[in-house]
Amino acid sequence: MTDRSTLVRQNLQAVQSRIADAAQRAGRAADEVRLVGVTKYVDADATALLANAGCSTLGESRPQQLWEKADSPELAGRSIEWHLIGHLQRNKVRQTLPHVALLHSIDSLRLLKAVQQAAAAIGQPARALLEVNCSGDAEKHGFAPDELDAVVGSLAEYPDVEIHGLMTMAAREGGADQARNNFALLRELRERVAPNAPDGVSLTELSMGMSGDFEEAIAEGATMVRVGSTLWEGLR
């Protein structure tokens, strides 16, 4: 029977191989795509196995789980870059910012303002992405595509929030073709709004693609893919 550490390492290597193959098919280099290992499915012990295997960029969906893991004995003090990939409530911004290297989910002007206020108060600029609801699914967070021009045009009003790109999730229905359409829309939106971004704002990052559709996302230009369940197959 394969031990847990070996299993996680094998799963990670398989995902990395699929990323490299998808990049090659798209005429891209594998190192153009960064893997964010999503750890919301597992505890700190299992998360440490993934870090030991070489995945040092980790993503959590819920702020409190991120705080707890980042401060846990298994993970505290390690060279891990934590990303918050899920919805962030405004009352949790102040406690979250010191723990994270990147917020993937700035999904409203109210949240953008809250992050600006908290970052200024603690004297630490916040690195973030703007979340766009490219699928139109009602339960998903994010700016509507037709709001993005105005939001990007206003970013100079938030000097302590460094916006580095855009994030989206594919539609729940429609399979690979629909996912690819959603990802293509995010890339097209970036190409449209980037030239009008304020000085100092570079929308280079596209965070899109999860376990079921990251290869389609890479084909459409993803620079970050957020993979969770595929990394933990056989472990739970």
The full set of domain ranges for the chain reads: 4-228
pLDDT in tens, 98-143: 999 999 999 999 999 999 999 999 999 999 999 999 998 888 999 9
Q: Residue 2 above 90 pLDDT?
A: no
Give 108's Cβ-side CA count (13 Å radius): 9
Average pLDDT over residues 196-215: 95
> Which of 113, 112, 64 is closest to 84 using CA atoms?
64
CATH number of the structural domain 4-228: 3.20.20.10
- Measured between alpha carbons, how far is 90 from 152 in angstroms, rounded to an integer? 20
- Measured between alpha carbons, how far is 228 from 225 in angstroms, rounded to an integer? 10
Q: Show the CA angle centred on residue 150, arms to residues 63 and 213, nearest 5°.
A: 50
Taking the CA atoms of residue 20, residue 23, residue 24 and residue 28 in that order, the dihedral angle to the nearest 10 degrees is: -130
